Amino acid sequence: MNESALPLSPRVAVILLAGGRGARAGFARPKQLELLGGRTVLAWSLDAFAAYPRISRGVLVGDGDVMAAAAPLPDGWISAEPGPERQQSVANALAMLADWEDGAIVLVHDAARPGVGPEVIDRLLDALGNADAAIPTLPVPDTLVEQAGGVAGDVAARDRLARVQTPQAFRLGALRRAHAGASGASATDDAQLVRQTGVAVATVAGDARLHKLTYAEDMAMLAGLLGTGTMMRTAVGMGYDVHRLVEGKPLWIGGIEIEHSHGLEGHSDADVALHALTDAILGALGDGDIGDHFPPGDPQWRGAASHRFLAFAGNRVAANGGRIGHLDLTIIAEEPRIGPHRVAIRERIAEILAIPVGRVSVKATTTERLGFTGRREGISAQAVATVQLPEN
């Protein structure tokens, strides 16, 4: 057979699913946009597929925030809207490959598995030389039991079980037919749908680095597996601020407006809570204080919303490859009462910094009518920030 008669290798596309919210992780933003080793979880997979030489088309499935974080997309990549369920997201991506032949190959991968590497992709593509579908799996090392009512039951035969990972590889026609016949059925992965059509699914060796980010504690495991978090140090910063109460101004505390007869006087909106937190975070970074970055004599900051200062400090942590571990804020005021607003303040701070609300503590106290706060002349706040930073 001469060389011109040899069959051409099939085209390879990848569908990268990044449309979920990841509520179980508890992050304030989608888990695929959390930082891991100085870049987003999404970027780990996107960069790996973009660098794989055989992939000529990529479809990123995600909302506007995901697309903004991924911009500009690598050459040959396009986007698709996410659906309410995983299956619809894949179907939307398949529609973007309508001009591709059934014999082409498509890889489907969850962006929450950032550890994808070329070795697993190689094994999957090799397996499709003799199959229409292939998935990576890992053995189950632990004893598995049935459980009901907090009582252990029968032991499962783990030698017949395996942990399924992504990416999963399919002949495009097989995956199209599986989704066309799914009739809205829900499936946690595409191999389940393909098997229901009678197609055998081959297995190849998976990779422990393909661990899925499901819960917040998985971040530490992924950092170790991917070699990004072995040399981290903990830094602590403190912040303190005070502002005078004056009549007729809006009162902003902790990023929310509180109904009160008096507000705080200052060059910006004078939010003592956010100012203290900003200084605490900057202190942990050894990066000066709020006045260094936002001088009170600069007219551009007159009346500025203090959430801009706090967001700036949070971005400085990210730029240094770090993460905010915990914030502890104490607001000192005789009035108004802070207690009824604590939940809203915690949630607003978490939203500004894009961290789980569980990492934010807000407390309030009085000075038992002593001093300027006791005389209702002003409000003060103090904060402690704990930040994890890479070693220099």
Do residues 255 and 348 lie in contact, with contact meaning Cβ atoms separated by under 8 Å? yes
Q: How many whole angstroms separate alpha carbon 84 and alpha carbon 20?
A: 9
Provide the pLDDT for residue 185. 59
Burial of 129: CB neighbours in 10 Å, binned 0-12, 13-18, 19+ = exposed
Mode of pairing for the β-strands spanning 323-332 and 378-390: antiparallel
Provide the pLDDT for residue 178. 94
Q: Which amino acid is at 167?
A: P
DSSP 364: E
pTM above 0.95, yes or no: no
Burial of 260: CB neighbours in 10 Å, binned 0-12, 13-18, 19+ = middle
* DSSP collapsed to 3 states, 95-110: HCCCCCCCCCEEEEEE
Both tokens of residue 191? 């191999």
Q: How many whole angstroms separate alpha carbon 150 and alpha carbon 375?
A: 56
Going from the first residue of the chain to its last (392 residues), give the mean pLDDT of each consecutive group of 10, the final group possibly shorter: 46 93 70 84 94 95 92 93 91 96 97 94 95 95 84 84 95 95 74 94 94 86 73 88 91 93 87 96 94 85 88 87 90 92 94 88 93 90 92 64
Domains defined for the chain, CATH in brackets:
8-225 (3.90.550.10), 232-390 (3.30.1330.50)
* DSSP collapsed to 3 states, 333-358: CCCCCCHHHHHHHHHHHHHHHCCCHH
Using DSSP's 3-state secondary structure scheme, residue 56 falls into strand
Cα–Cα nearest to 243, from 180, 323, 331, 321: 331
Provide the pLDDT for residue 373. 86
Q: How many whole angstroms separate alpha carbon 342 and alpha carbon 361?
A: 9
Provide the pLDDT for residue 141. 84
**Positive or negative: CA dihedral 126, 131, 133, 134:** negative
Q: How many whole angstroms separate alpha carbon 14 and alpha carbon 77?
A: 9
Provide the pLDDT for residue 2. 32
Who's near 149: CB < 8 A, 6+ residues apart?
A: none
Q: How many whole angstroms separate alpha carbon 137 and alpha carbon 312?
A: 42
Provide the pLDDT for residue 168. 97
Backbone φ/ψ region at 286: left (φ over 0), alpha (ψ -120 to 50), beta: left
Provide the pLDDT for residue 227. 74
